[in-house]
């Protein structure tokens, strides 16, 4: 299936649902990701965020919603990097991604090389918008100045130099948006209050993943609130 309108405009004011499951997760199957994508579409999602060409291809086949593709490159013991190179971007577009998400962080720079060149090349040579996944205000402003079409707070709390926590970094959303950056709020959003809070701070769109598409995480959160055997 194909997307008619500009994908960045299509997600404005909307909810993007991240349909991802890492290796070893019970839902790790491109066909399952496609089912989750259909659920998201029926529920009113404006777009989808999908990891890896196989999942992008499976999701593309069942929906006309804009698909934001990324490829996580795993590293032992530490967080994966997000789409650190042009060849990965090319594969995603070939699989049907309408937007490529790639990280623009100080942490990825030694691996991905010339990040400004990467952002520009993806837009120019592949003809798709870039979503820059960042963790700080400086990274976001840099990515925006290089021509990223949208900047997402995805990695706040995940780089070694940002503080992790349970709550989404809506402060960063506000800081970026107030400087005129087209900003997506992403990372740890799990309530209606988080979504409205992000839009109140000027978000262009929001991305929600685990709170919708990861039953293991949802179960873990609710199980932690149950008293368990101590109660009996
Ligand atoms: C840090 C990182 O690699 N984040 C990834 C980016 O694609 C995904 O694992 C997240 O699920 C996504 O950002 C949505 O966030 P949340 O699942 O918290 O709603």
For the stretch 85-143, pLDDT in tens is: 999 999 999 999 999 999 999 999 998 899 999 999 999 999 999 999 999 999 999 99
Alpha helices of the chain — where are they, by DSSP H? Answer: 7-10, 30-42, 53-60, 86-95, 109-112, 115-121, 137-145, 170-178, 192-200, 210-213, 215-224
Q: What is residue 3's predicted lDDT score, i.e. its pLDDT? A: 53
- Arithmetic mean of pLDDT, 207-214: 98
Ligand 1 probe mutation, 154, 160, 191, 215, most atoms within 8 A of CB: 154
Confidence check: pLDDT of 232 > 80: no
CA distance 135 to 216: 25
Confidence check: pLDDT of 17 > 90: yes
- Arithmetic mean of pLDDT, 178-196: 98
Confidence check: pLDDT of 230 > 90: no
* Residue entry with tokens 């963790």: 135
Q: Say which range, 45-49, 89-93, 124-128, 228-232, has the weakest mean pLDDT.
A: 228-232
Confidence check: pLDDT of 217 > 70: yes
CA distance 232 to 229: 5
Q: What is residue 229's predicted lDDT score, i.e. its pLDDT? A: 72
CA distance 219 to 14: 26
Average pLDDT, whole number, for the chain? Answer: 96
CA distance 206 to 109: 26
The DSSP secondary-structure symbol of 124 reads I
**Confidence category of residue 70, pLDDT binned at 50, 70, 90:** very high
Ligand 1 probe mutation, 209, 212, 215, most atoms within 8 A of CB: 209
Q: What is residue 4's predicted lDDT score, i.e. its pLDDT? A: 53
Ligand 1 atom with the smallest distance to the CA of 188 is 18
CA distance 2 to 25: 29
Confidence check: pLDDT of 177 > 80: yes
Query: How far is ligand 1, taken at its centre, from the CA of residue 209, in Å?
Result: 6
**Contacts of residue 174, Cβ cutoff 8 Å, sequence gap at least 6:** 201, 202
Query: How far is ligand 1, taken at its centre, from the CA of residue 231, in Å?
Result: 34
Within the chain, how many helices (H) and strands (E) appear? 11, 10
Residue 16, classified by CB atoms within 10 Å of its CB into exposed (0-12), middle (13-18) or buried (19+), is: buried
Query: Pocket residues for ligand 1 (CB within 6 Å)?
Result: 18, 20, 49, 70, 154-155, 158, 186-189, 207-211
Ligand 1 atom with the smallest distance to the CA of 211 is 19
- Arithmetic mean of pLDDT, 166-180: 98
Q: What is residue 5's predicted lDDT score, i.e. its pLDDT? A: 79
Q: What is residue 198's predicted lDDT score, i.e. its pLDDT? A: 98
30 and 48 Cβ atoms separated by less than 8 Å:
no
Distance of CA 10 to the CA centre of its chain: 16
- Arithmetic mean of pLDDT, 220-232: 84
- Arithmetic mean of pLDDT, 35-54: 98
């Amino acid at each position: 299936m194909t997307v008619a309108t500009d994908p960045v405009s299509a997600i404005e004011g909307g909810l993007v649902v991240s349909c991802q499951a890492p290796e070893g997760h019970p839902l790790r199957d491109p066909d399952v990701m496609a089912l989750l994508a259909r659920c998201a579409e029926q529920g009113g999602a404006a777009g989808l965020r999908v990891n890896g060409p196989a999942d992008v291809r499976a999701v593309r086949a069942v929906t006309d919603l804009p698909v934001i593709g990324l490829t996580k490159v795993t590293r032992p013991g530490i967080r994966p990097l997000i789409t650190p190179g042009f060849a990965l971007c090319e594969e995603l577009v070939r699989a049907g991604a309408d937007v490529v998400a790639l990280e623009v962080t100080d942490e990825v720079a030694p691996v991905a090389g010339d990040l400004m060149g990467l952002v520009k090349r993806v837009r120019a040579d592949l003809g798709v918008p870039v979503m820059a996944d960042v963790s700080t205000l400086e990274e976001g402003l840099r990515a925006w100045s290089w021509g990223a079409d949208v900047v997402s707070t995805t990695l706040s709390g995940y780089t070694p130099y940002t503080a992790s926590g349970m709550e989404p970094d809506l402060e960063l959303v506000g800081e970026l948006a107030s400087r005129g950056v087209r900003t997506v709020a992403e990372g740890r959003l799990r309530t209606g209050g988080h979504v409205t809070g992000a839009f109140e701070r000027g978000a262009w769109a929001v991305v929600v993943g685990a709170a919708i598409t990861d039953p293991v995480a949802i179960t873990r959160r609710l199980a932690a609130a149950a008293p368990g055997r101590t109660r009996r």
